Each structure stands twice: as C-alpha cells, then as structure tokens.
C-alpha cells in the first residue's frame, strides 16, 4: 500500500500531496519537510529507494518534479516505481506534454487523474485507456452539468 504521495519541485515546493494514512497536520508537515530534504539531496545515479525512520520511501524524479511515496515494509519497490510512472504517463496524456506549471494551475485535475489511478493507496486500474477515459468522461459530465445549469439560470431570468 502507498502511504502517501508527494510531488515536490526541485526547489522543495510542494505541488501535490495525497495521504492514504492518517496523520495530524503537524506530523504531515514534518514528514514532508524531512522526506523532501532526503530525496532532494540524492544524486542522479543513486537508487530510487530511501529509508526514512525505518520505512521504505520510493521516489523518482521527472524533469523538475520529484514524485515521492512511502510504502509498506513488504511492498514491491519496483512495482511502486511502475505505479508512479503510470501516473506520470497519465498526466502527460491528460495535459499533453505535462509540465510543472500545468500541475500548479490545474492541481484539481492532477488530483482527479490520481484518483482514477490509485485509491486507498492501491492501484485500481491497470489499463491506461480505461483510466484516461474515466477522467475525460468525468470532465464531460462536469461541462454538461455546467451547461444545463447555465441554461436553467438563463431561463429563470
């Protein structure tokens, strides 16, 4: 199980945080600070695994962003890397050549993409097509909904 996923810029700015375990605000802030420092301090050739307070942290850098997640003791680290990679692929497909700014200005969508891939800390959909389709369909529902409510409002006027 993934315990949390953090997206952090190279400068250490948090771009997205998703917690699948329950921690207090204080604990979260501490974890973010310390784990970020550990991950940012590592060099490119090193392995993608860290140990933080005896727990396994898997991280990977994509361009200017670090994707960091903590997993359970018995989890497969290589598998987690694949899950993270799948998330990056999905973002890329959704935004079309995704960059850090896309995630800053559209963080809601970034969360939506993640929610179609991982819930309760576990991967829910192995097919790229299905996951992508679900997000697009949700977006379509949202637009349709806006449209109908706009028409209704216009009628009322």
Partner 1 sequence: MVYHNLKALIKGIRSCKTVADERALIQQESAAIRASFREEDTYQRHNNIAKLLYIHMLGSPAHFGQIECLKLVASPRFSDKRLGYLGIMLLLDENQEVLTLVTNSLKNDMNHSNMYAVGLALCTFANIASEEMSRDLANEIEKLLGSSNTYIRKKAALCGLRVVKKVPDIADHFVAKSKNLLTDRNHGVLLTAITLVTEMVQIDAGVLEEFRSAVPLLVRNLKSLVTTGYSPEHDVSGITDPFLQVKILRLLRLLGRGDAQASETMNDILAQVATNTDSSKNVGNSILYETVLTVLEIEADTGLRVMAINILGKFLSNKDNNIRYVALNTLNKVVSMDTNAVQRHRNIILDCLRDGDISIRRRALELSYALINDQNVRILVRELLAFLEVADDEFKSGLTTQICLAAEKFAPNKRWHIDTVLRVLKLAGNFVREEILSAFIRLVAHTPELQGYTASKLYLALKADLSQESLTLAATWIIGEYSEVILQGGIVDEDQTVMISDKDVIDLIFSVMDSPYANYLIRQFVLAGITKIAARSTTSSPEQDRIAELLAKYTSAPELELQQRAVEFASLFTLGETRFGVLEQMPPPEIKTTVIGVVSEKKPVGSTTGKEGDLIGDEIPSASGNNGPSADATAQSNAQMLLDIFGPSSSDSAPATTPAQQQKSTVNDIMDLFGSSGAGTSAAPSSSMFSSTPTPSSAFPSTPASAFPPTPTPAAAPAVQNPQQQKLTSYPAYDKNEVKITLTPQTSPTKPGVVMILARFQVTGSEEASGLSFQAAVPKSQQLQMLPMSNPTISPGAVETQQMRVVAPVGSNVRLRLRISYNIGGQTYQDQVDFSGFPPGLTGTPSA
Q: How far is the CB of 55 from partner 1 (least distance, A)?
A: 13
Q: Which is nearer to partner 1, 63 or 130 (CB)?
A: 130
| Minimum CB distance to partner 1, residue 40 (Å) | 14
Minimum CB distance to partner 1, residue 96 (Å): 19
CB nearer partner 1, residue 63 or residue 147? 147
Give residues in contact with partner 1 (CB under 8 A).
Answer: 14-20, 22-24, 29, 42-43, 45-51, 76-79, 81-83, 104-105, 107-108, 111-112, 115, 119-120, 122-127, 129-130, 134, 137-138, 141-142, 145-146, 149
Q: Which is nearer to partner 1, 63 or 150 (CB)?
A: 150
Output the 3-class SS for the chain.
CEEEEEEEECCCCEEEEEECCCCCHHHHHHHHHHHHHHHHCCCCCCCCEEEECCEEEEEEEECCEEEEEEECCCCCHHHHHHHHHHHHHHHHHHHCCCCHHHHHHCHHHHHHHHHHHEECCEECCCCHHHHHHHHHHHHHHHHHHHHHHHHHHHHHC
Asked if residues 152 and 56 have their Cβ atoms less than 8 Å apart, the reply is no
Name which of 63 and 82 has its Cβ closer to partner 1: 82
Q: Smallest gap, in angstroms, from Cβ of residue 63 to partner 1? A: 18
Nearer to partner 1, 22 or 155 (CB): 22
Pairing label, strands 2-9, 122-123: unpaired
């Amino acid at each position: 199980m993934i315990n949390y996923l953090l997206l952090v810029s190279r400068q250490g700015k948090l771009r997205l945080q998703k917690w699948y375990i329950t921690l207090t605000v204080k604990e979260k802030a501490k974890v973010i600070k310390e784990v970020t420092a550990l991950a940012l301090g590592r060099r490119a050739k090193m392995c993608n695994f860290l140990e933080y307070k005896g727990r396994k942290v898997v991280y990977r850098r994509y361009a200017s962003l670090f994707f960091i997640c903590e997993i359970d003791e018995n989890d497969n680290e290589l598998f987690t890397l694949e899950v993270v990679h799948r998330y990056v692929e999905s973002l890329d497909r959704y935004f079309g050549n995704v960059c850090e700014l896309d995630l800053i200005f559209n963080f809601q969508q970034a969360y939506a993409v993640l929610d179609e891939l991982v819930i309760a800390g576990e991967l829910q959909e192995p097919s790229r097509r299905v996951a992508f389709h679900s997000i697009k369909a949700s977006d379509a529902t949202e637009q349709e909904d806006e449209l109908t409510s706009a028409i209704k409002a216009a009628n009322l006027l």
